[in-house]
Structure 1
Amino acid sequence: MDHVQLSTQLTEAYSKMKALTGGWLLKKATGGQGRRRLTVLSPDPEGYTGAQIKIATGAGKTTIYIVPLQEELDLSPLPEDAKEFEKMPKAACKSCSREMPLQVLALHVEDCIPRISSPEDEEPLVVADFLDVETAIEKISSSEDEMIDDADCPICGRMFPKSEISMHASFCGEVSSDCPLVTNADPKDTLEDSTEVHQILCEEDVLRWLTSQIDRSREFHLCVSREDIVERGMKLWQRQKSGSPVNPLKITFIGEAGVDTGVLRLEFLTEMVAGLEKRLFEGKEGKGKIPKYSISDLDKGLFRVAGEIFAVSLAQGGPAPKFLQEWCFNFLATGKLTNITKNDVHEPQLKSLIKKLEESEVVSAYTEDIINCGYTGPINTKKKEDIIRAIVLHATMQRTPMLKELRDGLDIYNLTTVLRQRQEYCRGLFVPDNNNNKVDSNYIVSHLAPEMSETGSMKYIKEVKILNYFQDFLIELEDNQSEGDEDQLTVPKVMQWLTGQAHRHLQLSERERFKITVCFEHACFERMPDHSVCFPVVSACAQTITFPTAHLGTYEEFQQNLTTAITCAKEFQIV
């Protein structure tokens, strides 16, 4: 469908466009159910086309808006006899007997004033003389006043007709105050109460509550480089003065054309959370980590920055910092050290000292090391458990200043309040469990939404083959994954390349909406006859990938082509 055909269809569907002579453009909102600022949907050189509209709207999932360039659209309602209503079913209003389309009637009945009584019910007025006329008028006025005059109940504050107020008052005081029908609360207050901490009953409620704490009056802009993103990100986070982390985060990568509609933020938070885990925490992968004992990082305020980034990540759709040990999480929730064991000690010297004390019968041989850990009691075999306990406390107490700073950072969204009161529902966001929550091949493949050609055609056969290649490629990455190789291509990295995030969606509603649209390019040689190779094109914002079928004939070609595309094209260069 070319521009002329599209314009014709729009004009037929929206007759008010016929009066537009000064041109128009299409715009769309980048999320927020149309409440965010509209951005121009730039037309192709030949104008708007059906294919462009399909991609821009996500196959009809996104609303676009027609915006005149030099005129104002008439937004007044169409008359009831408008041509657009000819084929619509109609019905008559029972109050005014006017016939109109059902869509208009639904709005009309709200404003139409019904007659109080039918003509048959009205008593004829016998006007004998001037005095009788005045008496009749007074009678009618008084009867109407009785019907429309309301009074408020002194118990519940609701308005009732005076004729019914006595009956209502007889049982009003007996109705429970929890009943939603008997309340004079402001609807806004009810809405605010729905986000109270005591109403959080699951992990998703925690995330929704955090999202409700975002201050959308301003934006928190960061312009960062992909090189050394963790160090630069922390430094710029501290220096930014035009906004605060409680505002919506907006990211710009230096030298890239990408405009942040949410995906750049996700990519930044994904890189930062993973980078901070390696930079400021230590411990075994999957077993939980603790803050590194680093006075210099503490003095620079990096642990507070880490807490703020973790809070922003949870509130604004990023990954959860799910790598802390249980006792660290308990400290964040309560501010106290609880449930600490010798397994929580990670310093090689202290771990070695504990092991020697457990195996040795001569505890006094390690007196100096024991005293350096803060133990002041008798040093003998009978006190071995107390000595080991002192060493464990010494090792963990060293980390409490870091945890306090981390806790202060989390509090920008009042997260410590939720942690304290709903600790059981927050644990899964910070402490690793036995469930494998990483993105795997099944998670990606199960959310693919391919746009296939006609079943049985040659194009369809190629498309099915490419989808199978893609699944085999992801499974092979899982099978060949090795521990400790940070540069190795993994399934989460493929997910990040496709969508900007490397983690599973935290909320069930997000997982249900998540789809990756798969398109297929069959005519690349017709557009570019002399080219030798082209690569898949990804639109992370629209969560769409387009495979060039002519260059993916075998699995080896597919594997080499896709690997090159992922490893060499991480930047956002197409708007």
Structure 2
Amino acid sequence: MNKVRESSVLYIAPLQEELDTAPLPPSSESFRDMPKAVCKQCKKSFPLQILTNHIKTCSDVVVVEDENQDEINNTTELSCLDNEVNDTEFSYMDNDWKTHPDPKMAADLYRKEIFRLHETGKPLLMCMDLRSGVEEQERQLINFYKQRHVEWACPVKCQLQGDAAVGDGVTRHFFFTVLEKLKYGFSLNLGNTGVTCLFEGEPDHLVPSSSQFLIESDLFLVAGRMLGHSFLHGGPCFAGLSRAFVHVLLQGSEDTATLQLEDCPDVDIRETIDLLSGHSPLNEDQSSKVLELCLSWDLPGPTEGNRRWLYERLLSHAVLGKRTRQIKQIRRGLKETFVWNLLNERKDVAFFPKESEDSCTPEMLLSHISWHRGDDEDDDDDDDEYSPDIKERITGYLKQFIETDVCWDTKTQ
């Protein structure tokens, strides 16, 4: 005969006082190290464990059921699975940035609003080991921006391992390095190219590389995150992009983009397209080159009647048509870093300045100076007037002067 097990209830009876079963307040020490998020209605920070219950009781909150609501990023607020910007967040922003007459001030106001909405988020830690090689440092940067489910508008902390520097100068160094690599290329050998350049072409005519390897590796999504993250934290902007490319990137129509022949980074293709710009009849060799290019892009061959139209179609495809996926990835990265709303509303903000409009920064000068090193062989010279310690101190003073005391309002020439 089987015995039936009966469930039992265990009661805890305090000897001297009643047990406190009231919910812990949000300020309790028990929640100190737990991830938090800001309630979009009352603007107060709550641990994620009690945020759902708070939303149900917070006044004037409309609770929207979402099948994806269970997925919560431990370092961020609730986010959509596709990492797109949640438009409802911007409904709680101060809109002074939309109407301010000065574009630069509008951008600063926008930054402050974004930071206010994310000030309680978990800080992002950016580390770079200066004792490692250049390629390893670049790999650290790329891996940082390849992370998924990151709230890029949260506070950022930068550390240079192997260097005693601290403070804002370290942050500026990080973002200057990021933008410099993005613009001039990474030393990492990605796709058997030696130097990996995400952008190619002449100054003020730069466009994303057409490398399929870079596209498939989502490196233009990384580029968009780098651009937006640098802008949010007061870092340098990306100067020198093609105006036509910027126009389309910011959702302008390809038909209204003002293209220039210099926007085409491939010199051979540029020369072939340029054959159609004149009025002289094409010889057999020229006609053959143009026809070959037209057929490769599913366009009709050249005739006297379609010459100008064909010139514009070929140039548009060479500059914009081959970069549709790159545009989508960069745009997505800008949305993830919360700067897309600004770019969409304020077309006058110089997010992508021309080379001539790019401000000179301390990092630009510092990166072109060959600094004294304590392990130089010349340090053993008995006739040297200054000791290595004095040289090091002088170098430190000069760095500090360049970073803090020099006026950087002038433009590069």
TM-score (norm 2): 0.57
Among 246, 254, 273, the alignment partner of 2:153 is: 246
- Give how far 1:374 is off: 2.7
1:255-289: CA deviation from partner (whole Å, max 9, x where unpaired): 33444x3322210110110110122111223x331
Q: 1:200 to 1:314 in 2, by over 3 A?
A: farther
- Could you say which residue in structure 2 is the equivalent of 1:382? 305
Whole-angstrom distance in 1 between the partners of 2:370 and 2:237 = 15
| Structure 1 unaligned regions, length at least 5 | 1-188, 445-488, 498-529, 546-575
Which residue does the alignment assign to 1:513? none
Between 340-349 and 232-241, report the one with greater CA deviation: 232-241
Amino acid paired to 1:205: A
Aligned counterpart in structure 2 of residue 367 of structure 1, from 288, 291, 301: 291
Alignment of 1:20-169 (within 5 A): none
Is 1:290–2:191 an aligned residue pair?
A: no
Contact 2:176 2:236 in 1 (8 A): yes
1:345 alignment counterpart: 264
> Does 2:127 align with 1:223?
yes
Give 1:354's aligned amino acid.
I
Counterpart amino acid of residue 361 in structure 1: L
Shift of 1:336: 3.3
Q: Name the amino acid aligned to 2:201.
A: G
- The answer to whether 1:430 aligns with 2:337 is no
Partner SS for 2:159 = strand
Matched, 1:278 2:184: yes
Cα distance in 1 for residues equivalent to 2:338 and 2:364: 35
Instruction: Determine whether 1:268 maps to 2:179.
Output: no
Please tell me whether residue 320 in structure 1 is matched to residue 220 in structure 2. Answer: no
> Aligned equivalents of 2:389 and 2:396: distance in 1?
19
Instruction: State whether residues 205 and 262 of structure 2, in contact with CA within 8 Å, keep that contact through their aligned partners in structure 1.
Output: no
8 A Cα contact 2:98 2:106, kept in partner: no
Shift in CA distance, 298/353, structure 1 to aligned 2, threshold 3 Å: same
SS at match of 1:423: coil
Between stretches 310-319 and 248-257, larger displacement belongs to 248-257
Q: Which residue does 2:14 correspond to in 1?
A: none
Matching residue of 2:109: 208
> 2: CA distance between counterparts of 1:233 and 1:196?
31
Give distance in 2, aligned partners of 1:410 and 1:496: 35
Quick one: distance in 1 between partners of 2:94 and 2:271? 53
The answer to whether structure 1 residue 232 and structure 2 residue 140 are counterparts is: yes
Alignment match, 2:219: 302
- 1:197 is aligned with what amino acid? K
Indicate how the Cα distance of structure 1 residues 209 and 348 shifts in structure 2: closer, same or farther if over 3 A, else same.
Answer: same
Letter in 2 for 1:341: Q
In the alignment, which residue of structure 2 is the partner of 1:332?
Answer: 249
Q: Does 1:401 align with 2:313?
A: no
Aligned AA (1:206): A
Change (3 A) 1:240 1:391: closer
Offset at residue 233 of structure 1 (A)? 0.5
Following superposition, the deviation at residue 430 of structure 1 comes to 0.6
Rounded Cα–Cα distance in structure 1 between residues aligned with 2:368 and 2:275: 46
Q: In 1, are the aligned partners of 2:122 and 2:154 still within 8 Å (CA)? A: yes
Percent identity of paired positions between Structure 1 and Structure 2: 17
More strand by share: 1
Deviation digits for residues 418-453 of structure 1 (CA, Å, limit 9, x no counterpart): 2222112x2x331315446325xxxx8xxxxxxxxx
8 A Cα contact 1:374 1:394, kept in partner: no
Mark the CA change 1:198 to 1:531 in structure 2 (over 3 Å): closer, same or farther. closer
Judged with a 3 Å threshold, the aligned counterparts in structure 2 of structure 1 residues 198 and 412 are, in CA distance, closer, same or farther, namely farther
The correspondence for 1:193, drawn from 75, 90, 94, is 94
Cα distance in structure 1, aligned partners of 2:139 and 2:91: 44
Work out whether residues 222 and 237 of structure 1, in 8 Å CA contact, stay in contact via their aligned partners in 2.
Answer: no
| Secondary structure of 1:330's aligned partner | helix
Note the C-alpha offset of 1:406. 0.9
Aligned length: 270
Q: Deviations over 1:205-252 (max 9, x none)?
A: 2133124213222111122234223343012321377x5322122222
Aligned to 1:493: 367
Given that residues 370 and 391 in structure 1 are in contact (C-alpha distance below 8 angstroms), is that contact kept between their aligned partners in structure 2? Answer: yes
The runs of 5 or more residues in structure 2 that have no matched partner are 1-89, 186-197, 372-385, 403-413
CA RMSD of superposed structures (Å): 3.4
- State the distance in 2 between where 1:237 and 1:386 align: 41
Shift of 1:494: 6.7
1:417 matches 2:341: yes
Q: Check if 1:535 corresponds to 2:409.
A: no
**For residues 436 and 341 of structure 1, do their structure 2 counterparts lie closer, same or farther at Cα, with a shift above 3 Å needed?**
closer
Using CA pairs below 8 Å that are at least 6 residues apart, which structure has the higher relative contact order? 2
Q: Distance in 1 between matches of 2:201 and 2:112?
A: 30
TM-score by length of 1: 0.42
SS in 1 for 2:157: strand
Query: Radius of gyration: which is bigger?
Result: 1
